[in-house]
Structure 1
Amino acid sequence: MKALSLVLLSSAALAQAPKPAAAPTGYDCLIEPNQRIEIRSPTNALIDKILVERGSSVRAGDTLVLLDGSVEREALAGAQQRADSEAELRVARARADYAREKFRRREDLREQNYITAQDRDEAQAELRVAEAELALAVDNRRLAGIEAQRLSAVVKQRSLRAPFSGIVTERLQNPGELAFTGEGSRPILKMAQTNPLRVEVVLPVSVLGQVKAGRTAEIMPEAPLKGTWQASIKVVDRVMDSASGSFGVRLELPNPNGDIPAGVRCKVRFL
């Protein structure tokens, strides 16, 4: 009878004991743009045109902002003209040829004692000056070409282009305003890269060995979005947070058509 009572008590205790927690259906995560940048002017310049608005979709290389570059374009035209012109070079070459021929004749006459050594030396000095002027003309043309390249780069900086495909998230300035350079200045535009997207998740240390870079995971966004998407694990933190007993993981979520919005919460399930 006593043994039967012990068996009944043990059964009741087992029935009241807490059951093991079920495996989680997914970990909380956040879908974010892959990167956010601010479009600033590389120099102090007047804004001529802004070709996009807030919410505009742009491709890498698209022109976003045009800055006033009239002075630089005029300077570029002048430098290009000097670089292409051969007039100064032809004149210097003709003088050098004439001085070289003159010195040759003076040398022959000197050998026949028809002129003095001083006359021959003067012709030789004229030849050296003419050759120096020819070298200077060559250098001037080369420097004009270098200046044209520099001004061409300056003119290109007057067109601010998108460094990647994405969305214009904010427009902070307008045509006619003066754009300043430097980190403390106000940006003209803000952009976010939406393909691919970045998924950030914090995991407990107990699953550290189960999550490795290169593997695949399922991303399930919160309502009202539906469906699941495949993402690849890109970064697994090697430094743990001792206070919370967790570590971070970053995933890359392809979004070629822009169907997945950024900034929404989600669940991630590692396959």
Structure 2
Amino acid sequence: MTKVLMIIPAYNEEGSIVKTTKSIEEFKKQVSFTLDYIVINDGSTDKTKDLLIEQQIPAVHLIKNLGIGGAVQTGYLYAYYNDYDIAVQFDGDGQHDITSIEALVKPIIDEQSDFTIGSRFVEGSPSEFKTSFSRRMGINLISSFIKIKTGRRLLDVTSGYRAANRDVIEYFSQHYPKKYPEPETNALLVKQNKRVEEIGVNMFERLEGKSSITPLKSIRYMIEVLTSIILLSTGRDK
């Protein structure tokens, strides 16, 4: 049976992490594959660690904050060394809908895709939440740069709801951007001729905590992301 691991990066998610993991526990018996999860506690300074220990939630506790890239790569390392067939990135803030996971992993199980991106913007997506107008404009700009660089149009390029097969797990366990990894890795995999597919998934608006990308950071975010895409190589020689 296919083994699937959900990687849940969490930094100061005391308000949502227990609810997020409970949603997985309630749903995991309904799927046709083995579904496990691991929370990567990224040096949280609130009660996230205490809650994870108290509730006996599977977790890796990083001794300092590594940022989203370092936390997610830790999850890929865990998936690789524990022989998982598929790894799914899943936010700890409650934005991702667990019921969409079957649609996300099916193309990989069927060996039709190497990597899938959970998308709010592809035709047929059930998601009513599409994000703010300003963020949508930024996403469109990044999408345009990826199209110029790779020749492939991806729509939800900042989505953190993603699934990877064994080969991509191995690669990400060794090579993963630290700051803003989703757009860069999406473009990188397309450049490497991986079979990348966007799948319509459901997402919710964040109700607890706050995004790591504040308005004050947004300009720097765009400059760094677009620069990384422009300078992108295949990555296999790193």
* Bigger Rg over Cα: 1
Which category of TM-score, normalised to the shorter sequence, fits these structures?
under 0.3
TM-score under structure 2 length normalisation:
0.18
Structure with bigger strand share is 1
